[in-house]
Amino acid sequence: MRLNEWFVPRFGSPRFRAAVGLLFLPYTGMVLAFTAFGAMLAEVVHWDRVAAILTIYFLALGIGAHALDALGSRETKPWGDIFSKRQLRLFAFVSVATAYAIGIPYMLGPAPLLWWIAIMEGFFLLAYNLEWFQGRFHTDGWFALSWGALPVLAGHVLQTNSISFAALLVAAAAGALSLVEITASRPYKRLKRSTASGPASATERVQMQQLQSILQFVSLGVILLGLGLIAWRWTE
């Protein structure tokens, strides 16, 4: 179980702690910041659309994708038996359906180009987290595209119904930052699992601390940058 992760609160019942942990808030926060990166590139910022894309990704990724990830994990049940498979399926269905319900009016109205991103993200939501096709899409590269680059483009497209060269560059940067996160996260999780049954060696403790610091600082930096961009455009 992942209740001892750094992003899980140390207080409350196991069910409360698991519910917060399931959201993977630092990593979800990175993706929300990426949508803000794209939105803030627009010449005119429509703040209702900023709120919409943040809500869409919080629901679809923060809740839906992580619930599916808990269902589709081939290695272990990350939250033990705290949530049943039925509950995880319900979390995923309700959150993803609500996210699409929020987005569809915009796709039928001012941002029809968003349909293409919505379709791709819907595919990756299932193929990555449920490890379809023998896990072929459960790789670092597809992770960087689906939860790094595409959120930037989604935020920009919802504002402008277009994809600019600047948005593509920022999307590439977000993909690179996502690669930093996922390439640190995978060995970190392996070390956590390998030391779960006994005390970690001094070398393992140092390695885990280094990887954890990378995860903490990259997520914090991305989130603060997103907030800074929002504050800048809000006060223009």
Domain extent for 141: 14-234
**Residue 228 covered by a domain:** yes
CA 194 to centroid of chain Cα atoms: 25
For the chain, the farthest-separated pair of C-alpha atoms sits apart, in whole angstroms, at: 58
Q: Give the global pTM.
A: 0.94
- Look at the chain and report how many structural domains it folds into: 1
Q: Chain-wide mean pLDDT for the chain?
A: 93
**Residue 4 covered by a domain:** no
* Residue bearing the bigger pLDDT, 64 or 200: 64
**Residue 168 covered by a domain:** yes
**Residue 2 covered by a domain:** no
How many Cβ atoms from other residues are within 10 Å of residue 32's Cβ?
24
Closest CA to 174 of 23, 33, 29, 24: 33
**Residue 43 covered by a domain:** yes
Which tokens sit at 139? 């790789």
Please name the residues in contact with 71: beta carbons below 8 A apart, sequence gap of 6 or more: 85, 88, 89, 92, 129, 130
**Residue 109 covered by a domain:** yes
**Residue 86 covered by a domain:** yes
Is residue 74 over pLDDT 70? no
**Residue 3 covered by a domain:** no
CA 205 to centroid of chain Cα atoms: 27
- What would the pLDDT profile of 162-203 be if each residue is shown by its tens digit? 999 999 999 999 999 999 999 999 999 888 887 777 777 888
Which tokens sit at 221? 């930096």
